[in-house]
Amino acid sequence: MTEESVLIIAAWGYPPSWQEAEYRLKINHPRFRNLSTQTYTCRSSTIALASHLLNNQFKTRVKIFGLDSVVEPTSNYRERIEESYREWIKEILGSCENRSIESENIEIYPCPSIGTFHGWRFNGSIDHIFNKVYMKTYEHIEDYTWIFLDLTHGLNYQTIATLYGVLAACITRNREDRLIMMNSTPPPGGKKQKNNRNNRSQLDLIDVSRLKDAITILRAFTALRNLEYPRLKFYSRHMDGQDSIINVFENDVKPFISLLRNGVVAITYPRAFINNNQRIIREPCEIAETLDQEIDVEYRPEVDYNERMVNYPNADVFHVVGKAASQILRDLCIGHNLDLIEYMEKAGEMLKRSGLAASSLQVKREAETLKNIVRYLNRSRGRDHIDEGITSYSYAILRRLENIEEVLRREVSQEEFRNNNRDRLCDKDGKTVRNILENLRKNIDEVDLRNLTAHAGLSYTLIEHIKLGNDGKPCAIRYRERALDAVKKLISA
């Protein structure tokens, strides 16, 4: 048995109406192309596909999304629906040749129905099916190497909603390249029946474009994985009633992406504050928690025996947008428990993967500079420097020295950064510490903004203090209050 696993998702309508057929299995995907073509005599393409994969040593599980309308409404309605599907599965398994899937590896999820069946009106919607398929797929999709979607057996609207629900879940989990869709040719047709005017059905056309809109928005969100901010204002016309999500993205996510793209990584550090302990930027994982709300997709039917109707709780395809957005934001989490140097190094790798090579190199360079400063302090200052941390004065002169080892040879103490003899210390350009520190009193201008971007957010004109943990590594950074002005100017530039 291979280590690769497969999840098969299928939309099923009414199994008793299916006829036995010979399903020829040939999968064109490169991973499965070398599997020999095999034929399975069965009443279900889903069972044939599962058997084919199992016979080729792929661990396989099946999720079937059925419909409430397969059984006439009575007490314990949903339980009866599941029992009926279980009985039909048992019958199908018993009649299939060469089948290897067992019933314990098949899950059943009844979904709301739409239209009139058995003299009952079912008032479900595509939103109900989409949401249920999305959530049940989203919850377990990462447990499998491959996802197969069998579209052979569903009703028209059910097949469309299932297709979009699975696709949305794969987009959210970044698993779209692992999705393989299957369908079968129709059974041989017979003669057309003459149209009887008295027996014409009344059918409603269903607008399924909302499913397309949901996919469009999810694809826009996925741009964040490449550190590109989507045009949410443009897509907001599709997201009626989702203003809170748009506001969160505009107010919190957009600044984070803007700073990261510009290489101003240190300010995005989860423990970066201004002098009153106010956070400068909210990290993606924290934002994700506010968007990730529980969604009840059971949608248990409410039977009205007097009106012969089956109603359901409200559903909206955009209820899952917050869930999807939260997952994509988690993909942007750099690391809450990292020290500042590790955080910057990891952010540099993320920038590199997103094609922002210049910003990546700049961030890594500044991380290395900070690492050298910390290494020097650990070697030369002992426990005292850990308690004191790195002041802006210390950081200003140390980062400007051509070689920190030169400072080590001079054995300059931190007191010399604070006493009146600061003029004794010069950097490689001959500038004294006093000259350098005069910049700290300047207002934010274009030079400050350039320093902010040039030094990955570690601009000594804006830093007030870098805290060191017990291990001597930088674990928090405090900025001067006017750093907020610099951030706002950079974001709006």
What is the tens place of the pLDDT at every residue in 224-234? 989 998 877 66
Confidence of residue 266 (pLDDT cuts 50, 70, 90): very high
Average pLDDT, the chain: 84
Find all residues with CB under 8 Å of 7, minimum gap 6, and list them.
60, 61, 62, 63, 140, 141, 143, 144, 146, 147, 148
**143: which DSSP letter?**
G
Higher pLDDT, 422 or 124: 124
Tokens of 184: 């079968």
Confidence of residue 193 (pLDDT cuts 50, 70, 90): low
Residue 417, pLDDT > 50, answer no
Q: What is the pLDDT of residues 40-65, one digit of tens each?
A: 999 999 999 999 999 999 999 999 99
**With contact defined as beta carbons under 8 Å apart, do 14 and 43 qualify?**
no
d(CA 66, CA 108): 7
Residue 432, pLDDT > 80, answer no
What three-state secondary structure class fits 68?
Answer: helix
Burial of 409 (0-12, 13-18, 19+ CB in 10 A): exposed
Higher pLDDT, 445 or 48: 48
Residue 189, pLDDT > 60, answer yes
C-alpha Rg value of the chain to the nearest Å: 31
Q: Which of 408, 400, 391 is nearest to 433 (CA)?
A: 400
> Which of 99-108, 139-148, 418-427 is least confident?
418-427
The mean per-residue pLDDT over the stretch 407-429 comes to: 47
Residue 94, pLDDT > 70, answer yes
Residue 442, pLDDT > 70, answer no
**With contact defined as beta carbons under 8 Å apart, do 452 and 460 qualify?**
no
Q: What is the pLDDT of residues 29-42, one digit of tens each?
A: 999 989 999 999 99
* Domain boundaries defined on the chain: 5-184+209-220+293-330, 340-492
What's the pLDDT at 221? 87
**With contact defined as beta carbons under 8 Å apart, do 134 and 165 qualify?**
yes
d(CA 221, CA 450): 30
Confidence of residue 422 (pLDDT cuts 50, 70, 90): very low
Q: Reading across the β-sheet that carries 120-123, which strands appear in turn?
A: 114-117, 120-123, 309-311, 302-304
Confidence of residue 398 (pLDDT cuts 50, 70, 90): confident
Tokens of 439: 């910049």
> Which of 116-125, 277-286, 416-425 is least confident?
416-425
What's the pLDDT at 408? 46
**With contact defined as beta carbons under 8 Å apart, do 310 and 121 qualify?**
yes
Q: What is the pLDDT of residues 201-224, one digit of tens each?
A: 667 788 888 888 888 888 888 889
The predicted model scores a pTM of: 0.82
| CATH tag, 5-184+209-220+293-330 | 3.40.50.10640
**Cα–Cα distances in angstroms (integers) from residue 275 to residues 382, 470, 484, 488, in the given order:** 26, 22, 11, 17
